[in-house]
Structure 1
Amino acid sequence: MQTGHVTTPFGRRPATLALVKGQLAITAPSPGARVEKWKVFRDVCEARERFGLQDRALAVLDALLTFYPEPQLDQDHGLVVFPSNAQLSVRAHGITESTLRRQLGALVDAGLIQRRDSPNGKRYAHRSRDGVIEQAYGFDLSPLLTRAAELALLAQEVAAERVRFRRAKEALTICRRDVRKLITAAIEEGASGNWLDVEMMYVGILGRLPRYPDRTQVEATLDEMELLRNDVINLLEMQLNTDYMHGNAIQNERHIQNSNTESIYELEPSSGKEQGESLPEEPPAKRIGVEQKRANAEQIKSFPLGMVLRACPQIVDYGPGGGISNWRELMTAAVVVRSMLGVSPSAYEEACNAMGPENAAAAMACILERSNYINSAGGYLRDLTKRSERGEFSIGPMLMSLLKANGDGNRLAG
């Protein structure tokens, strides 16, 4: 059964089956039906992506609605407007005629307006003696009235989709932040675990996310990131539980340490031979390697902590509570300085492995003192790390140089 009004276009524009199908799909408005025209326009703007419309098409539709004199679309007042291209261009913010024709075609293809072409292709109206429009040729706005309820539902769906998309992106941003900072904290504070592999998983998840993702892709990435966050939290929870189990032993160990921060018992760990212990025989190559690493790690510890702090007084401000009283607090301050100077966690971790944590902390203190003369703190630390691995690095000259610069060189010599 025929439901819509079928008409063919004027001139060279061909009549297609798709055009006929679209016209038949538009049923005649029911008698007495009316809708506020700007409400329908807002719904179309909200759902424009569903129709594949550009901003220019919306500007043209806005211009067409300004030529309809009534505030509501009403079948009784007629729904055909017949402005010229010049008038439409002015009200559509001066777009060119070629763009105007293209966007009018897009509105027709979207089923939002229909053409009512005259025999000669002009747009005009026949009026009665009383001035009432009896027949008009131009653009029929009846699809907007007929599809008003459908357009309202589409607008609500698009708005809900946009809210869901925005919330998914917000959740992903928070989850990314959590994972990134937890991994950084674990690396900086030396938590046990293969955190480099975890970081590679983090980078891999983000690498699969397109530059301009849709909601489905964002939600899929969020699911992966939440699983990774749970794994990271579980690893850290096990680490904290382990630390808690050994807390009493650590506290007992602290009780027997000398409270003097420059005590040789705290700064210079004695070897087994010095304690009178017999050591098992080791292969020569392994023994040489162990002794070399031990020598490298003990270079800082041969200097009292007080001397390091006199040579590098700036790092004291970054200690817990604004002061440093032992090596652990110096290492804590060094982590803060590392982040401030832009040294990567991996560079500092390599320095700790090569020099020992105390050595690396003292090196960061020296770098802080000379930060005005060092272009890249990270590159400088990596160079010290490589030299330390070769057994070519000694903190002594650095400390002596800084002591002299601070005016403590003569006092130290005396």
Structure 2
Amino acid sequence: MAFTKLSIKSTPAGPASSSQTHQETDIWAIFRALRDSRSMFELRPGHIQTLQAMLSFLRPGHGDTVFASNNEICRRVGGIDERTLRRHIDRFVELGFMKRHDSPNRKRYRVRSSDGHSISYGLSLTPLLERASELLSVAKEMENNRRDRIFLRKQILTRLACLEEHDPGNGLVSEVRKTLRRKLTIVEYRNLLTEVDAENIGMSTAVDAPETIKLPANDGQIVRHQSRSIKEQKDLEDKLTNEPPAIQKLISICDQAISFSTNRLHSWVDIENHARTLAPMMGIHANTFDKAKTAVGTEKASSAIFIILQLGKHIRDFGAYFHSITLGKRVQQFNPAVLLDRLSKTESIIA
């Protein structure tokens, strides 16, 4: 559809003034502005389609009045009912975007006198053109709000991904993701961003806080003291990392995995057998589980299956996550006991 520019002629009120002001307006730019901001005026897509069909009847130099009959307008819209067309026109008249100039016989036409004066009977779109600046401003404001909401949403999702990576069991992540399913205002998005930022700052502070080292009085013992402290700390971390979690603790917290078991699990053999049953259901190949068992041990590999299933929707790809914490780059960070503690705290908060 071609872009049509209409000349709007306005005559001053004084009889002595014969000058006229011409203002060229892009009628389709106004139409797009109203289309994009239709929710502000409670207009439905059907209203916009009717207006588009009516605008297509206008021709340059022939004014801003639609002379087409209702039947012709209905046909151009796509075959809508005439009663629907009348309701659409009534709505535009009510909003002040259109005026009816009815002839005595209700026909739509134009008559001209010999001196150039004319009378137009039909549907006048002059009010729509006169509100061009208002519509363009509203449409621009709505577009800016839409872009700002998208930008804030992406910021929140980025911070949630960072938070989820360091703490998969964090309760705030699931809560915020549920909130993001709704259509939010800019203020609500900003409040969520502030809340997630505060959580990220608190976590980074807890993780990165330096430990205070008490130095001995004798300077000659400093090197030996630091060396011994580092070795003892490393041994302690290795012990905590390699220590399997308690069976009862694993069973009580990971209720999702237990719900698939028909028998009670009493030993690590029972847990391993059940984990082997769950792994293919989660997209984890049996060979991958065997490799993980060889690399990190039966307890950690089986615990990983239970914990991943318990985390559920917090993990996008079970197979990739299992490989990462048992065979990949995050194997040194995976500590089942710590994750179970976090899951236990999260569930107690939700409860």
Q: Flag whether TM exceeds 0.5 (same fold).
A: yes
Picking from 233, 238, 241, the partner of 2:204 is 233
Instruction: Tell me how far apart the structure 2 counterparts of residues 221 and 150 of structure 1 sit (CA, whole Å).
Output: 32
Instruction: Tell me how far apart the structure 2 counterparts of residues 224 and 235 of structure 1 sit (CA, whole Å).
Output: 17
Residue 32 of structure 1 aligns to a residue whose secondary structure is strand
Picking from 184, 206, 221, the partner of 1:213 is 184
**Does the CA contact (< 8 Å) of 1:111 and 1:143 recur in 2?**
yes
Q: CA deviation at 1:345?
A: 5.3
Instruction: Tell me how far apart the structure 1 counterparts of residues 157 and 88 of structure 2 sit (CA, whole Å).
Output: 38
State yes or no: 1:178 paired with 2:178: no
* Match in the other structure for 1:19: none
Q: Please list every run of 5 or more consecutive structure 1 residues that lacks an aligned counterpart in the other structure.
A: 1-26, 188-198, 258-266, 269-298, 301-311, 347-363, 365-381, 383-414
Give the 3 Å change call, closer, same or farther, for CA 128–117 of structure 1 in structure 2. Answer: closer
**Does the CA contact (< 8 Å) of 2:102 and 2:108 recur in 1?**
no
Instruction: Tell me how far apart the structure 2 counterparts of residues 247 and 87 of structure 1 sit (CA, whole Å).
Output: 92
Question: 1:14-413, aligned counterparts within 5 Å?
Answer: 31-70=21-60, 77-120=62-105, 122-128=106-112, 134-184=118-168, 199-205=170-176, 211-238=182-209, 241-242=210-211, 249=228, 252-253=231-232, 315=289, 317-318=291-292, 324=295, 329-330=296-297, 334=301, 338=304, 342-344=308-310
Aligned length: 243
2:101 is matched by which residue type in structure 1? R
Give the 3 Å change call, closer, same or farther, for CA 254–152 of structure 1 in structure 2. Answer: closer
Give the 3 Å change call, closer, same or farther, for CA 313–212 of structure 1 in structure 2. Answer: closer
Instruction: Tell me how far apart the structure 1 counterparts of residues 126 and 138 of structure 2 sit (CA, whole Å).
Output: 18
Residue 21 of structure 2 aligns to a residue whose secondary structure is coil
**Does the CA contact (< 8 Å) of 1:60 and 1:92 recur in 2?**
yes
**Does the CA contact (< 8 Å) of 2:96 and 2:127 recur in 1?**
yes
Give the 3 Å change call, closer, same or farther, for CA 176–46 of structure 1 in structure 2. Answer: same
Give the 3 Å change call, closer, same or farther, for CA 254–206 of structure 1 in structure 2. Answer: closer
Q: Whose Rg is larger?
A: 1
Residue 344 of structure 1 aligns to a residue whose secondary structure is helix
Instruction: Tell me how far apart the structure 2 counterparts of residues 129 and 255 of structure 1 sit (CA, whole Å).
Output: 102
Instruction: Tell me how far apart the structure 1 counterparts of residues 129 and 52 of structure 2 sit (CA, whole Å).
Output: 15
Instruction: Tell me how far apart the structure 2 counterparts of residues 256 and 49 of structure 1 sit (CA, whole Å).
Output: 64
* Match in the other structure for 1:371: none
Q: CA deviation at 1:316?
A: 6.0
RMSD: 4.3
Give the 3 Å change call, closer, same or farther, for CA 226–48 of structure 1 in structure 2. Answer: same
2:195 is matched by which residue type in structure 1? E
Residue 78 of structure 1 aligns to a residue whose secondary structure is coil
